């Protein structure tokens, strides 16, 4: 099959998966496209939420319902199909039982429990042809997107800590405090970006200073949130027990699982223990300095206000960042920093 058609199918699968970033934890977002023998796209599907059918199962079911399953020759999957029985059946087995002959994998599954799909798909009798994007340099851009899709999930299952994104907004003078009577100084596009990031993440980390000064709601506005979705975790870094009980109660009633901690260094592990793949930090300069000093962040989004121009967005990352799906920089490489833990 021409690689151009493989790439076109992968773009569709990646786009489908990216629509559910923030809805699937503790699972990663995954997409699957089924192609006919000539490389025409038959169906595209994505995993919606933990406990519901995986992308491969959804794609096969949709093809079956549309009467297209017999034409399915190639499956393009952003992540290696799972090979274990959990809340849903193994996808590797579902593909083996389908008419699909060729299976492409975006990235291997880093989870020791779910991995092994490649070996099972190739196992004889009844083995399938398995191809990896890693073996085709011309398709490298799609592989990087597949890596970015699961970067937070991979961080959690490999290291036992969640992916931490810092969002920092700076005014024209480099300050972080909005003018009196306002809650922000960023432009509309930056505001939408901030709320897209809230929607995409499973938890918010903030500091007691921000809570006392602003009593932020941390809800998703300006964009539609995932519905339904699991409650978000709200971690308040508070070393002196100053979190107001009424604020904690209000945020719990708003659907947050509120956690208060005096251990900033332990926040990524604490998040991971709750099944959080991706968390964002919305806090003041004091907590941001401490997070930077401790090296807890994985990527850092800076929104910079300008006097007579639109805001600019800068990404610093210690690896392939999932922010590429939110910022409009999907196919650009953010500044990369060595030494990620």
- Check if CATH label 3.40.140.10 holds for domain 3-153: yes
Q: Which of 69, 114, 301, 308 is nearest to 196 (CA)?
A: 301
- Tens-digit pLDDT profile for residues 35-46: 999 999 999 999
What pLDDT is stored for residue 126 in this prediction? 85
- DSSP output for 69-113: GGG--EEEEEEPPP-S-SSS--HHHHHHTSS--EEEEEE----TT
- Hey, where are the domains in the chain? 3-153, 160-336
Rounded to 5 degrees, what angle do the CA atoms 334, 225, 284 make?
Answer: 55
What pLDDT is stored for residue 178 in this prediction? 65
Average pLDDT over residues 188-198: 90
- Whole-model pTM: value is 0.90
Residues 278, 141, 115, 48, CA torsion sign: positive
pLDDT over threshold 80, residue 272: yes
pLDDT over threshold 90, residue 321: yes
Report how far apart, in Å, the C-alpha atoms of 198 and of each of 169, 232, 272 are: 15, 10, 17
Report how far apart, in Å, the C-alpha atoms of 205 and of each of 50, 215, 261 are: 23, 14, 10
What is d(CA 4, CA 253) in angstroms, rounded to the nearest whole number? 50
What is d(CA 193, CA 223) in angstroms, rounded to the nearest whole number? 9
What pLDDT is stored for residue 71 in this prediction? 97
What is d(CA 37, CA 139) in angstroms, rounded to the nearest whole number? 19
Phi, psi of 13 (to 5 degrees): -65, -40
- Tens-digit pLDDT profile for residues 280-301: 999 999 999 999 999 999 999 9
CB contact at 8 A, 150 and 19:
no
- Tell me which of 187 and 235 has the higher pLDDT: 235
| Architecture (CATH level 2) of domain 160-336 | 3-Layer(aba) Sandwich (3.40)
Residue from 56, 80, 147, 282 carrying the catalytic annotation:
56
pLDDT over threshold 80, residue 172: no
Residue found under tokens 């593909």 = 95
Q: Which of 3, 2, 10 is nearest to 105 (CA)?
A: 10
56 flagged as catalytic: yes
């Amino acid at each position: 099959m021409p690689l151009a058609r493989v790439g076109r199918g992968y773009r569709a699968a990646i786009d489908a998966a990216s629509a559910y970033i923030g809805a699937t934890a503790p699972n990663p977002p995954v997409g699957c496209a089924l192609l006919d023998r000539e490389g025409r796209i038959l169906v595209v599907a994505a995993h919606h939420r933990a406990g519901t059918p995986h992308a491969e199962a959804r794609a096969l079911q949709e093809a079956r319902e549309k009467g297209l399953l017999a034409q399915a020759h190639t499956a393009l999957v952003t992540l290696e199909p799972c090979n274990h029985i959990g809340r849903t059946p193994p996808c590797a087995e579902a593909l083996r039982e389908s008419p699909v002959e060729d299976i492409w994998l975006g990235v291997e599954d880093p989870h020791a429990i779910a991995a092994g799909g490649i070996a099972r798909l190739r196992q004889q009798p009844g083995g399938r042809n398995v191809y990896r994007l890693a073996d085709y340099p011309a398709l490298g851009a799609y592989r990087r997107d597949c890596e970015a899709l699961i970067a937070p999930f991979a961080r959690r299952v490999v290291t036992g800590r969640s992916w931490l994104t810092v969002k920092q907004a700076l005014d024209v003078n480099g300050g972080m405090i909005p003018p009196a009577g306002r809650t922000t100084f960023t432009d509309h596009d930056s505001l939408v970006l901030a709320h897209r990031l809230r929607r995409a993440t499973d938890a918010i980390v903030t500091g007691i200073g921000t809570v006392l000064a602003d009593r932020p709601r941390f809800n998703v506005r300006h964009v539609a949130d995932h519905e339904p979705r699991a409650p978000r975790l709200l971690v308040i870094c508070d070393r002196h027990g100053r979190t107001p009980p009424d604020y904690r109660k209000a945020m719990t009633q708003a659907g947050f699982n509120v956690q208060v901690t005096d251990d900033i260094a332990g926040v990524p592990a604490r998040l991971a223990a709750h099944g959080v793949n991706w968390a964002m930090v919305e806090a003041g300069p004091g907590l941001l300095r401490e997070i930077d000093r401790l090296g807890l962040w994985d990527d850092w989004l800076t929104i910079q206000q300008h006097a007579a121009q639109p805001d600019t967005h800068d990404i610093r990352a210690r690896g392939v960042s999932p922010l590429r799906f939110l910022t409009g920089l999907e196919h650009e490489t953010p500044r990369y920093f060595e030494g990620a833990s």
